[in-house]
Amino acid sequence: MSIQFFPETKTFRLDTKETSYIMSVSRQGHLLHLYYGGKLGDDDISVLTAGEIRTGFSPLPYEYADGRYSLDCMPQEFSTDGVGDFRYTSISVVNSDGSYAFDGKYVKHRIYSGKYSLDCLPSLFSNPDEKADTLEVELADKATGVRVTLLYGVFEDKDVITRAVIVKNGGNDKIKLRRIMSCNLDFRRVGFDFIHFYGHAYLERLTEREHVTHAACEIGSVKGTPGHEHNPSVVLCDRNANEEYGECYGAALLYTGNFICNAKVDQLNQTRFVMGIHPEKFEFVLNADDTFTAPEVVLTYSDSGFAKMTHHLHDVFRENACRSKYMKQRRPVLVNNWEATRFSFTGEKIVSIAREGKKLGADLFVLDDGWFGARNDEHAGLGDWTVNREKMGGDLSDIIKQVNDAGLMFGLWFEPEMINEDSDLYRAHPDWVLKIPGRQPAICRNQLVLDITRQDVQDYIIKAVNNILDNNHIEYVKWDFNRYLTDTYSALCDNEHQGEIFHRFVLGFYKLLDGIILTHPDILFEGCSGGGSRFDGGMLCYQPQIWCSDDTDAVWRTKIQYGTSFAYPVSSMGAHVSACPNKKTQRTVSFKTRAAVAMSGTFGYELDTTRMTDAEKAECAEYTKLFRKYYDIITYGDYYRLTNPFENTRYVAWEHAAKDKSECLITAVTMDAYTQHHIMYLKPRGLDENAMYETELADGKVIIMSGKTLMKVGLPFDLFVSQYESRQFYIKKV
159: left (phi over 0), alpha (psi -120 to 50) or beta: left
The pLDDT, as a whole number, for residue 62 is: 85
pLDDT of residue 561: 98
The reported pLDDT for the residue numbered 720 is 59
pLDDT at 721: 67
Please check whether residue 124 is in contact with residue 316, taking contact to mean a CB–CB distance below 8 angstroms.
yes
Count the neighbouring beta carbons within 10 Å of the beta carbon of residue 289. 10
- Per-residue pLDDT for 674 more than 80? no
Coil vs helix vs strand at 433: strand
Residues with catalytic roles: 536, 616
Average pLDDT score, the chain? 95
Q: What is the pLDDT of residue 1?
A: 85
Pairwise CA distance, residues 247 & 106, whole Å: 31
- pLDDT tier at 244, thresholds 50, 70, 90: very high
Average pLDDT of the segment spanning 644-660: 94
The CATH class for the domain spanning 325-637 reads alpha beta
SS3 for 196-218, per residue?
Answer: EEEEECCEEEEEEEEECCCCCEE
**Environment class of 723 (CB within 10 Å of its CB; exposed 0-12, middle 13-18, buried 19+):** middle
3-320 CATH choice from 3.40.50.880, 2.70.98.60, 2.40.50.660, 1.10.760.10: 2.70.98.60
User: What is the domain partition of the chain in residue ranges?
Assistant: 3-320, 325-637, 640-733
Threshold 0.85, pTM exceeds: yes
CATH 3.40.640.10 holds for 640-733 = no
**What is the 8-class DSSP label of residue 76?**
B
In sequence order, the β-bridge partners of residue 570 are none
If we measure between CA atoms, which residue out of 528, 268, 278 comes closest to residue 412? Answer: 528
- Span 35-45, average pLDDT: 94
pLDDT, tens digit, 9 for 90 and up, residues 412-455: 999 999 999 999 999 999 999 999 999 999 999 999 999 999 99
pLDDT class of 719 with cuts at 50, 70, 90: low
**Phi/psi of residue 664, nearest 5 degrees:** -155, 160
What pLDDT is recorded for position 676? Answer: 67
Give the pLDDT confidence score for residue 102 in this predicted structure: 97
